[in-house]
Amino acid sequence: MELNGKIAVVTGAALGIGKAITEILLKNGAKVALLDVNETAGKSLKEALDKQYGQERTLFLNCNVESEEQIKAAFQKTADNFGGIDILCNNAGILNETTWEKTVSINLVGVIRGTYLALEHMSKLSGGRGGVIVNTASMAGLGPLLSCPVYTATKHGVIGFTRAMAAASTASGYGVRFNALCPGFVQTDLFTTIPSKLGQFSHLADATEKLAEKFGILTVSEVAESLLELVTDETKNGEAFLVFPQGKKYVTFPSFSS
């Protein structure tokens, strides 16, 4: 997919991985709608991006992915402002085992909600022009993280949902590719605040730190480069792209067909 002129929506765009995704999409020619619940950070980033790319290339929309109404409005404003949606990065996510219902609401339900609402704009069956949806999962979506079982569950769910949607899209003719981005540990606010977010599993913070030492820490730019590959390589559909400092690989899953 050539990005020049394409229209992208990034959730959780104001900080961390979402900010890096926004920047690499802009750098490669896309227009980007930044959706985030953090209005201060979002407006500040928009101001900085206006100076670098001009005011017309981005739109910041205060949007909580837990709200159907807010996502629906944000997608409509994006389509009205830019003329459609070609790319969706369902990136917004939290890690908090004490408020685990909220973690499920944002990390999994928010991804499902964003996907279904975006298809109303993107699917060729509803007048769209197709495109690609990349869901930010995690390495914790491929193997259990002992200190955050609910976070692990949400990321496993995101991968399963993404792969099923990829198959549904191919079978239905949506013209939309679906891929999961699965980073290891990444240097962001989410990562640095982990020790205070483990709740009843706080005694396992040291074990988590040892895992981070073992697997290493990615930069947000490294993650964004992998996102770009999933967006631009039109052969990628239904992939789980595992990214960690030692390298990256497309995960193979058990096949049950005889």
Ligand X SMILES: NC(=O)C1=CN([C@@H]2O[C@H](COP(=O)(O)OP(=O)(O)OC[C@H]3O[C@@H](n4cnc5c(N)ncnc54)[C@H](O)[C@@H]3O)[C@@H](O)[C@H]2O)C=CC1
Select the binding partner of residue 119 from ligand X, ligand LHF2Z3OF, none (C-beta < 5 to 8 A, by kind).
Answer: none
Q: Which residue lies nearer to ligand LHF2Z3OF by CB, 246 or 257? A: 246
Site residues for ligand LHF2Z3OF, window 155-184 (CB under 6 A)?
184
3-state secondary structure the chain: CCCCCCEEEEECCCCHHHHHHHHHHHHCCCEEEEEECCHHHHHHHHHHHHHHHCHHHEEEEECCCCCHHHHHHHHHHHHHHHCCCCEEEECCCCCCCCCHHHHHHHHHHHHHHHHHHHHHHHCHHHCCCCEEEEEECCHHHCCCCCCCHHHHHHHHHHHHHHHHHHHHHHHHCCCEEEEEEEECCECCHHHHCHHHHCHHHHHHHHHHHHHHHHHCCECHHHHHHHHHHHHHCCCCCCCEEEEECCEEEECCCCCCCC
Binder among 36, 86, 222, 239 for ligand X (CB under 6 A): 36
Name the residue nearer to ligand LHF2Z3OF (CB basis): 58 or 147: 147
Catalytic residue among 53, 116, 151, 250: 151
Question: Is residue 128 within the footprint of ligand X (CB under 6 A)?
Answer: no
185 sits near ligand LHF2Z3OF (criterion: CB under 6 A): yes
Does 93 contact ligand X by CB under 6 A? yes
107/157 Cα distance (integer angstroms):
9
Q: Which of 17, 30, 85, 153 binds ligand X (CB under 6 A)?
A: 17
According to the binding rule CB under 6 A, does residue 38 interact with ligand X? Answer: yes
Give the CA diameter of the chain.
57
Stretch in the footprint of ligand X (CB under 6 A) among 59-67, 81-89, 226-234, 250-258: 59-67
- Does the active-site annotation cover 174? no
Does the footprint of ligand X cover residue 134 (CB under 6 A)?
no
Supply the residues annotated as catalytic: 151
Residues that bind ligand LHF2Z3OF (CB under 6 A): 95, 138-140, 143-145, 147-148, 184-185, 190-191, 194, 208, 211, 214-215
Residues that bind ligand X (CB under 6 A): 11-12, 14-18, 36-38, 41, 63-66, 91-94, 106, 136, 138, 183, 185-186, 188-191
